[in-house]
Amino acid sequence: MSITREEILKEPKNIERIYQMRESILSSVSSVNPSKYDELLFVGCGSSFHLSKAAERFFVRVLKKSSKAIVGSEILYSSNAVLIKDRKYLAFVLSRSGESTETVKAAELLKKKYDCDIIGVSCEKDSSLLKLSDIKVHIPLEEKAIVMTGSFSSTLMLLNMLALELKGVDSNIVENAVEEASDILEQSKKLFEEIELTRYNNYVFLGFGEYYGIAKESSLKLQEMTISHTEAFPTLDYRHGPKSLVDEKCLITINLTKEGYEEEMKLVKELEGYGGTVVTIGEKAG
């Protein structure tokens, strides 16, 4: 069994363990006052940027606060296009290792050139990122795989819980998702047994809102682990050009939303009409 697969199978237990430790992990940020800031930033590279996209959308949904996800290198080389000098920022800077070059340098630049407080989030307690951060969030989760597995899920869970707590909503509502993690993993394993994955040569992931970041990360995961051609788009934007590549060799995964469910299901039928195989994920998935 590969290290990555082994870590994926451990995700339910790791998520539950991190959930049980949530109060101590988030204690340093529980007193943060978002109203002090003009905008919230979520900064990362690679998987951590996709994580930033998902977290940013959730913070907007819950806190109704202007938020923005930015890839670390853009802050380094194009900050004038994404940041405004006279604004006060609170930046969540994410890096599993805490040593990602562009991410650490982006945090340094934010502290030096902008009115910005840094909340560093990393799995490495003594990392460069946490050392320079104003507020440190250490997630005690060790991974051996090159790709992010449980660290992605656990970090996103904790950030979502933080948004709820800052809003004054009981974050214990997340407990249901934690309890269902094992069932979701089992459903996924059964699905993979039913689908002959190697018969496809084009893998597409779609999602709206928070799920767009998830779609981007899903695409990256499959691409870097299998060296396959993958793509990710906001769900209905796939209609505008990219769907022309859909045929019987295309496997499309759609993260369903309550708001867009009706149109998303119309897209499912549309893509199946082109010969594609569609997998839906969500409460109303079939």
262 vs 175, residue with greater confidence = 262
Instruction: Give Cβ neighbours of residue 133 (< 8 Å, ≥ 6 apart).
Output: 93, 107, 118, 119, 120
Q: Which fold has domain 195-281?
A: Rossmann fold (3.40.50)
- Domain 3-176: give its CATH superfamily: Glucose-6-phosphate isomerase like protein; domain 1 (3.40.50.10490)
Percent of the chain, pLDDT > 90?
87
- In the block, tokens 């006060």 appear at 88
- pLDDT value of position 174: 86
- Assess whether pLDDT exceeds 80 at residue 173: no
**Do the domains 3-176 and 195-281 sit in the same CATH topology, yes or no?**
yes
- pLDDT value of position 285: 53
Please state the rounded mean pLDDT for residues 229-237. 98
- C-alpha closest to that of 40 among 84, 88, 103: 88
Domain ranges of the chain: 3-176, 195-281
pTM comes to 0.95
CA 138, CA 22: separation in Å to the nearest integer? 11
Query: What would the pLDDT profile of 184-226 be if each residue is shown by its tens digit?
Result: 999 999 988 999 999 999 999 999 999 999 999 999 999 999 9
- pLDDT value of position 171: 79
Please state the rounded mean pLDDT for residues 266-285. 91
Query: What would the pLDDT profile of 36-82 be if each residue is shown by its tens digit?
Result: 999 999 999 999 999 999 999 999 999 999 999 999 999 999 999 99
